[in-house]
Amino acid sequence: MREWHLRTPLREEDVVRLRAGDWVYLSGVVYGARDVAHQRMAEALLRGEALPIPVEGQVLYYVGPAPAKAGWAVGPAGPTTSGRMDPFTVPLLERGLKATVGKGTRSQEVKEALVRCRAVYLATVGGAAALLARHIVRAYPVAYPELGTEAIWELEFREFPAVVVNDAHSGDLYAIASQPYARS
């Protein structure tokens, strides 16, 4: 297990050196989006329209941040379940998205696309939304503002902690970590 301090946008060489189980501390601009925003982006792509955010080399965090209290960029900002975005993820990876951040497992289709597109899936701790919000120093909605917290947000991360779950080489932390506990 290694630790990496990465800045967005990510380059392919950043991504391919990551392995399942590595810790990543992300800094820079990351986009936050949840289910409805992902569905809208997928519909835009089907209509042949441009996406409302740049995705090449970028990171998407599956989050809908709560309103900020005084002195904070965002309120609690914990990850949502990544599998809910699986139906919309592959077309974004094919357009150059380099990482997603959430919690839980990914579909086989997404894991295969991560390898094919040389991208990674990062997980962060669910249930620690207030702690994670401390690593977000700026936030504002950039697309679909009528969705409120479900809009697409431009977030500035500072040393945001995550672990590589699925890497660009078919590594899967959840499969590796469960092996010692498997019954024969």
CA 183 from chain center: how many Å?
Answer: 32
Phi, psi of 145 (to 5 degrees): -60, -25
Q: What is the pLDDT of residue 184?
A: 59
CB atoms within 10 A of CB 169: 13
**Domain extent listing, the chain:** 3-179
Instruction: Respond yes or no on whether the N-terminal peptide bond of residue 65 is cis (omega within 30° of 0).
Output: no
Q: Residues of 93-117 as b/e, b for ≥16 C-beta within 10 angstroms?
A: beebbbbbbbbbbbeeebbebbeeb
Q: What is the pLDDT of residue 149?
A: 87
Instruction: For residues 27 and 151, give the distance between their C-alpha atoms in angstroms, rounded to a whole number.
Output: 21
Instruction: For residues 95 and 117, give the distance between their C-alpha atoms in angstroms, rounded to a whole number.
Output: 9
Q: What is the pLDDT of residue 125?
A: 86
**Helix, strand, coil % in the chain, rounded to nearest 5:** 35, 30, 40
Phi, psi of 86 (to 5 degrees): -55, -40
Q: What is the pLDDT of residue 179?
A: 63
Q: What is the pLDDT of residue 183?
A: 63
Q: What is the pLDDT of residue 112?
A: 98
Over the chain (184 residues), the average pLDDT of each successive run of 10 is 96 97 98 96 96 97 92 92 96 98 97 98 90 94 94 97 98 82 58
Q: What is the pLDDT of residue 182?
A: 55
CATH of 3-179, one of 3.40.50.620, 3.40.50.720, 3.20.130.10, 3.30.70.120: 3.20.130.10
pTM: 0.94
